[in-house]
Amino acid sequence: MVSYDELGARIIISFGDGSVFITESTLWGLIVAAILAVLGIWLGSGLEKIPKGKQVIAEFIVGWLYKFTDANLGKENRGYAPYIGTIFGFILLGSSLGIFGIRPITASLNVTAALAVLTFLLIQSSAIRTHGVKGRIKEMCEPYPFMFPLEVIEACTLPVSLALRLFGNILGGLIVVELWMHLMEYLSSLVCNVPFLRAVTVLPINAFFDMFEPVIQTYIFTLLTMINLYTAIKVTESHGQLAQGNRK
Amino acid sequence: MNLIALAAGLAMGLVGIGISLGQGLALGKGLEGISKQPEASNKIQTAMIVGMAIMETIGVLTFVIAIILTGKM
């Protein structure tokens, strides 16, 4: 049967009395990060003026990424594109691990919570860097000062909802795939000994839950990150005029 | 124990009704907007997907609660 005993991943290596351990998702997360780093270095090495071979692919990916960030963050905030691209690649590859029969690393709440906390820290630190501490508090007190607690709660809810959304979607996909496999095994065992139904239906199920769903969830995660980042760092109309007036 | 199973199933079922209605409405209106103004399809699509993601959060939260409930059986 399917076991829901552990919401997290299996522990594969433990040291000492078992209080220090490495889970499956930690290990695969490190491997995914290493793969992405090697791929990035290989794609970015030996660049030429006229693109050829792998450079075409690299330019396509980077161009798409910059277009994606420009559309949502504005051209002046291009510096955030590498971060967005990194989390995009990491979540996409980490969630699609189910294709290879490995438990997706984002089906563990620890991984998604870490990613969401990164996003939260990025948003708050960039907002403080643009507006200053005083400006940030003033921004949160708009339009009325009594909205301040609500704004604080809203800012703290964002990482929770980001983490739970990614985790719930990927874990839900995992459980549905497992249940479907068991059902197909049972149904085909009524007819003959070979689980033929399982072998046939695995392809569309995998294509949906391990390829399509991760792409959608990754897109949503990065898009929500960018939208919240933009609302935090955008300079409002009055501020913009002030800044322009100072420059003159 | 049986009541917990019933609660988890009911929670998922009820949230399914709500989310499917809401997302269906959002998708329908989004497609309507795109067919009226094909040149604004990029903006409409982005807003639609974000809105649907926010709706889906409710379902995902219910899913997490249902899993916690089944863990208590």
Instruction: Please report, for the domain that includes residue B40, its CATH number.
Output: 1.20.20.10
Position A212 pLDDT exceeds 70: yes
Q: Does B58 touch chain A (CB under 8 A)?
A: no
Subunit contact A169:B60, Cβ cutoff 8 A? yes
User: Residue A83 has what pLDDT?
Assistant: 92
| Residue of chain A nearest B50, judged by CA positions | A220
Percent of chain A with pLDDT strictly greater than 90: 25
How far from A230 is each of A27, A80, A124, CA to CA, in Å? Answer: 33, 11, 11
pLDDT, average across residues A160-189: 87
Domain that holds residue B39: 2-71
Query: Considering the domain boundaries, does residue A105 fall inside one?
Result: yes
User: Residue A72 has what pLDDT?
Assistant: 85
Q: Are A54 and A42 in contact (CB under 8 A)?
A: yes
User: Residue B1 has what pLDDT?
Assistant: 66
User: Residue A237 has what pLDDT?
Assistant: 56
Radius of gyration of chain B (CA): 17
Measure the CA–CA gap between A24 and A49, rounded to whole angstroms. 43
User: Residue A1 has what pLDDT?
Assistant: 36
Residues in a beta bridge with B1 = none
Average pLDDT for runs of 10 along chain B of length 73? 87 93 94 92 85 86 86 77
Reported as a single tens digit per residue, the pLDDT across A104-132 is: 888 888 889 999 999 999 999 999 988 88
How far from A132 is each of A15, A81, A105, A139, B4, CA to CA, in Å? Answer: 45, 23, 36, 10, 50
Query: Considering the domain boundaries, does residue A5 fall inside one?
Result: no
Query: Considering the domain boundaries, does residue A206 fall inside one?
Result: yes
Domain that holds residue A137: 14-235
B30/chain A closest Cα distance in angstroms? 17
Q: What is the total count of domains within chain B?
A: 1
Query: Considering the domain boundaries, does residue A3 fall inside one?
Result: no
H/E segment holding residue B48: helix B41-71
CB contacts, 8 Å: B46 with chain A: 71-72, 223
Query: Considering the domain boundaries, does residue A46 fall inside one?
Result: yes
User: Residue A32 has what pLDDT?
Assistant: 93
pTM for the model stands at: 0.82
User: Residue A118 has what pLDDT?
Assistant: 93
| Residue of chain B nearest A217, judged by CA positions | B53
Reported as a single tens digit per residue, the pLDDT across A166-179 is: 988 888 888 888 88
Q: Does A176 touch chain B (CB under 8 A)?
A: no
Q: Does A8 touch chain B (CB under 8 A)?
A: no
ipTM: 0.74
Q: What is the total count of domains within chain A?
A: 1
Reported as a single tens digit per residue, the pLDDT across A214-241 is: 998 999 999 999 988 988 888 765 554 4
User: Residue A150 has what pLDDT?
Assistant: 86
Q: Does B5 touch chain A (CB under 8 A)?
A: no
Subunit contact A7:B67, Cβ cutoff 8 A? yes
Subunit contact A164:B53, Cβ cutoff 8 A? no
Position A52 pLDDT exceeds 60: yes
For residue A151 the two structure tokens come to 């704004």
Measure the CA–CA gap between B38 and A59, rounded to whole angstroms. 28
